[in-house]
Amino acid sequence: MIQRIQSIYLFFASVAMVIMLIFPIAIMVGTGEADYVYLFYGIVSAEGELLLSAVPLAVLLSAIPLISLVSIFLYRHRILQLRLCSFNILLMLGGIVLIWYYGYHAGNSLSADVLYSVPAIMPVLAAILSYLAFRGIRKDELLIQSVERIR
């Protein structure tokens, strides 16, 4: 059901990842007047030119909110919901690694300092919320199993 606490956790995890898709992840300040913006799909110059493409990161960060939203409506299939939550947490951890990798790589190749902004911590927040949802779903599943044993 949508009013369960784990559904609310999954919804807020999805919202956190959508925020990451909207706002820049980091600002890169280069030598002189060169400034770059680190968006979810790559590094963009101040003029709007795409300098470094990050397609794997874009696919990963786009799939995470979709999986969270789909798992909200799988409340009747708790085992599948548990698997999707754990898979989503792994994707978020992979997203954190890719965010760091592209930031580090672009900072070195452009000789710029990377200044991460608040949306850079959204995968960590979403992973925590997904873990809380995982615990709630697991608790529901254990409760259902214990009731079935009594019958």
For residue 54, give the nearest of 37, 67, 33 by alpha carbon.
Answer: 37
Number of domains in the chain: 1
pLDDT of residue 34: 74
pLDDT of residue 1: 53
Q: What percentage of the chain's residues is helix, strand, coil (to nearest 5)? A: 65, 15, 20
d(CA 86, CA 64): 12
pLDDT tens, position by position, 3-35: 689 999 999 999 999 999 999 999 998 877 778
pLDDT of residue 92: 95
Give φ, ψ of 44 to 5 degrees.
-120, 140
Q: Give the CATH number for residue 67.
A: 1.20.140
Low-confidence winner among 1-5, 67-71, 140-144 (lowest mean pLDDT): 1-5
Q: Can you give the residue range of the structural domain that contains 135? A: 5-150
Q: Which residues of 60-97 are buried (b: 16+ CB within 10 A; e: fewer)?
A: bbeebbebbbebbebeeebeebbebbeebbebbeebbe
Q: What is the mean pLDDT of the chain?
A: 90
Please report, rounded to a whole number, the percentage of residues in the chain having pLDDT higher than 70.
97
pLDDT tens, position by position, 117-129: 999 999 999 999 9
Whether the pLDDT of residue 151 is over 70: the answer is no
pLDDT tens, position by position, 93-112: 999 999 999 999 988 888 88
